[in-house]
Structure 1
Amino acid sequence: MPPRNRLMRDEIRAAATRLFGVRGLGAVTLQEIADELGMSKAALYHYFPNKDALVTAIFEDWAREGADRIGAVVVLDEPASARLRRLIELHVLGLTRHLDLYRLGFRDEDQLPAEARAVFDKFKREVDGAVRAVVQDGVESGEFQPVDAKIAAFAAIGMCNWMYKWYRPDGSYQPPELAAMLARFTLGGLLRRNPDDARTADGAVDRAALIAELAADLQREVDVLRATQSPESKQGDQP
């Protein structure tokens, strides 16, 4: 596809996602999307033959990019806590960056075309599966408390996903601050606080790794607290 056509498709997807997220999937017509872009409806048909095709393309591109990023984190040669933090922060940053799309997916899921709904459901399963796998790694290594990895993953991802209801870009906290907070909340319920309690399968204790991890967590909290005290971070009434 020529670069100009690719750029136009991107602009159409962005405008449509914005309108869908604000007004709802059923309330927006292709004509309104074309008007938003200053183009004719016939020109829009050149890129997408109908509304269902447009919605499906929006979700396919987003899910493909997100799945690649998540998969890359799961296989990193890092402790489970470091990978889990990366996953939670990645998910939160992705949600704040694509807020309209998440609103569309969660709020209007029953209105999505079958193909788009299948893509969205698959992506949610991939996120849940990635978090569950990393939590299980941490449990088996002794880094995390002996929890049910499935329930822990649902709790962590559910906490993040609910942001689509309350997050506002003009709120008090910037996305990286929120990402660090939610990652800290997740790890706080999983990490063993006494390094002597953390043992690998052969009974060895990796005290240095756990102490370093706890120190990194504390430093991250300090950074977040400092950031929230800066004047530019206090922009609204968001929780």
Structure 2
Amino acid sequence: MTSAETDGQANDKTAARAARRERKRDQSREEILDAARRVLLRHGVGAMTLDAVANEVGMSKTGLYYYFPSKDALVFELVHGVIEAQAKAVQAGVGAAVDGGGALRAIIGGTVESFAPRLDDFRLAFLFGQVAGAGALRWDREQFERIRPLNDLVLGKATEMLGAERAERLPRAAVEPRLMAFLAYLAAIGLLTMKGMVEPMDDPLLYSDEQLVEGFARVFEAAAAAGEGG
């Protein structure tokens, strides 16, 4: 075996060991996030401490610090994961839309479909900061810069489609395209918030999720099409 072949095998083994370490690290990281979510949902915000999470996952607090330097960092990753999954699902739905109104429908429907079966994830992503109280969470600029691109996954394509249509006509609704897309998103968030409010009281809403999504979708499709043919 030549020296080059020996060096090549050594490099391959080194790369394989590095890959195994990375897979193990990713697996441990996901196990910690799952444990944190269980602690949070089982015991509430006050019990969401690094000690509690370390006990849940079965490692020392020092070991936990290797993956997450603070409670804020851990909660951020939980929130980011939930929002990222929802944003990608909405992005796929909007990508299949044929016009701006359809894109708005996809934002509303995709958001509700993502969270309605998992309201705990919705509360974690959108209500945790309110429940935790002022100053309970502090995210830095780098973390906010990771969150903001997710807004573009949800709103970007719809804004582009609405903008192109607006250039062809002046809508009577006269709402800026990005704002209209965001308002559609807020409609879905409001629906989920109301659903989350009444669910624990066993007092369901008068209308089904499907009816509410359809109602919002028709309103926004009409707004997007306003002025067509004028």
Shorter-chain TM band: 0.5 to 0.7
Tell me the TM-score normalised to structure 1 length.
0.58
CA contact (8 A) 2:33 2:78 kept: yes
**Structure 2 unaligned regions, length at least 5:** 1-18
Q: Report deviation, 1:182.
A: 4.0
Paired residue for 1:23? 44
Looking at structure 2, the residues matched to 141 and 162 of structure 1 have their Cα atoms a distance apart, in angstroms, of: 31
Indicate whether 1:160 and 2:181 are aligned. Answer: no
Paired residue for 1:103? 127
Q: Report deviation, 1:90.
A: 1.6
Aligned pairs (5 A) from 1:1-239: 2=20, 3-20=23-40, 23-24=44-45, 28-76=48-96, 78-96=98-116, 97=118, 98-99=121-122, 100-104=124-128, 107=131, 111-114=137-140, 115-124=142-151, 126-136=153-163, 146-148=173-175, 149-163=177-191, 165-168=193-196, 178=209, 180-192=210-222, 198-199=228-229
Residue identity in the other structure for 1:154:
F
**Structure with the higher helix share, 1 or 2:** 2
Secondary structure (helix, strand or coil) at the match of 1:167 reads helix
Secondary structure (helix, strand or coil) at the match of 2:127 reads helix
Q: Report deviation, 1:31.
A: 0.3
Residue identity in the other structure for 1:102:
F
Q: Report deviation, 1:122.
A: 4.4
Residue range with higher mean Cα deviation, 117-126 or 181-190: 117-126
Cα distance, 1:127–1:51 mapped onto 2, change above 3 Å:
same
Secondary structure (helix, strand or coil) at the match of 2:73 reads helix
Cα distance, 1:40–1:173 mapped onto 2, change above 3 Å:
farther
Q: Report deviation, 1:30.
A: 0.2
Looking at structure 2, the residues matched to 12 and 163 of structure 1 have their Cα atoms a distance apart, in angstroms, of: 31
Looking at structure 2, the residues matched to 166 and 139 of structure 1 have their Cα atoms a distance apart, in angstroms, of: 32
Deviations 1:125-149 (A, max 9, x none): 653444444444565677x864413
Looking at structure 1, the residues matched to 84 and 219 of structure 2 have their Cα atoms a distance apart, in angstroms, of: 30
Paired residue for 2:6? none
What do you get for the CA RMSD once the two structures are aligned?
4.0
CA contact (8 A) 2:112 2:188 kept: yes
Deviations 1:164-209 (A, max 9, x none): 54334676779xx52x33432222223449x9x844xxx9xxxxxx
Cα distance, 1:106–1:158 mapped onto 2, change above 3 Å:
farther
Residue identity in the other structure for 1:119:
R
Residue identity in the other structure for 2:62:
A
Secondary structure (helix, strand or coil) at the match of 2:96 reads coil
CA contact (8 A) 2:51 2:61 kept: yes
**Structure 1 unaligned regions, length at least 5:** 204-239
Tell me the TM-score normalised to structure 2 length.
0.60
Looking at structure 1, the residues matched to 213 and 63 of structure 2 have their Cα atoms a distance apart, in angstroms, of: 44
Residue identity in the other structure for 2:127:
R
Cα distance, 1:120–1:7 mapped onto 2, change above 3 Å:
same
Looking at structure 2, the residues matched to 183 and 133 of structure 1 have their Cα atoms a distance apart, in angstroms, of: 22
